[in-house]
Amino acid sequence: MGVGGCLALPWRCLVVLCLRLLFLVPAGVPVRSGDATFPKAMDNVTVRQGESATLRCSVDNRVTRVAWLNRSSILYWCLDPRVVLLANTKTQYSIQIQDVDVYDEGPYTCSVQTDNHPKTSRVHLIVQVSPKITEISSDISINEGGNVSLTCIATGRPDPTITWRHISPKAVGFISEDEYLEITGITREQSGEYECSASNDVSAPVVQRVKVTVNYPPYISDAKSTGVPVGQKGILLCEASAVPSADFQWYKDDKRLAEGQKGLKVENKAFFSRLTFFNVSEQDYGNYTCVASNQLGNTNASMILYGERG
């Protein structure tokens, strides 16, 4: 059948080609590497998943038939549109496998017929796959002193290397080179984001992050007494760190100050509370207590609003 026949009847051409290949290698002929009178096939071919792999086989004018085999079987891709014949000349017979996937990996044999004696040479196709994180721990909230276990599972060819890193100005380098990260007795300084990186040099590393929130009771870091002249504006400030954020309450002696009380304003934010006196009087002077609390506990600090000369 000529080229024109193949163009006119492509399916018929492919069927005939497959039938011819079936008779190319006699049963029982072992697949061997190279031959003293036949050039060796190319070296191992390494490609990334999704790329194209070119398999070349050198031939000469003694060759009457030639074909590529996969794992000692006649090419199963006779009807596979991914396989393209690149060269069929007196010196070379080469094919290209497009959009290569992992199942394409393995040995390929160039088999030729010369003077009624089959000869073979082999090449191994290696398919590399970029890393992919397939499983990672969800964000977690835990009380200070608890234990944390983070997991990061990734696939790729070759197997990717997994590393964990704490995204923090105080953190130095990697804290784990394993799929699992265990933190015993976690502290508030260890809260934040933890980055899992999977790399195998096939492509850029892939990274994902897990947020670890460490809960702890309030701690008042700043509460200072203030001197204010009568008739002036005065402010008492109470700063506290806590996770979750603290709720604040103010007391004068043993009496709780109510929101909207005449001449006063209480302003509560996530990490501080401000008590403002718009027009300080003699009755405003005295001892004040700031109480900061959340579900894990509470703490308090006392300060004095005292008079001074204007």
Nearest to 208 by CA among 193, 186, 227, 229: 193
- Phi and psi at 4, nearest 5°, equal -60, -40
Give dist(CA 55, CA 123) in Å, integer: 8
Give dist(CA 151, CA 130) in Å, integer: 20
Counted residue by residue, the chain has a size of 310
pLDDT (0 to 100) of residue 110: 87
pLDDT (0 to 100) of residue 78: 57
Over residues 2-37, the pLDDT tens digits come to 323 332 334 333 433 443 443 343 333 333 333 444
pLDDT (0 to 100) of residue 5: 32
pLDDT (0 to 100) of residue 16: 37
Calculate mean pLDDT across residues 147-151: 97
Which range among 77-81, 173-177, 297-301 shows the weakest confidence by mean pLDDT?
77-81
Count the neighbouring beta carbons within 10 Å of the beta carbon of residue 132: 12
Q: What Å distances lie between residue 206 and 2, 137, 150, 158, 159, CA to CA?
A: 51, 15, 17, 14, 13
Over residues 170-217, the pLDDT tens digits come to 776 678 889 999 999 999 999 999 999 999 989 999 999 999 999 999
Torsion of Cα atoms, 23 then 27 then 29 then 31, to 10°? 80
Average predicted confidence (pLDDT) for the chain? 83
pLDDT at 72 over 50: yes
pLDDT at 298 over 90: yes
pLDDT band at 46 (very low <50, low <70, confident <90, very high): very high
pLDDT band at 259 (very low <50, low <70, confident <90, very high): confident
Calculate mean pLDDT across residues 154-162: 96
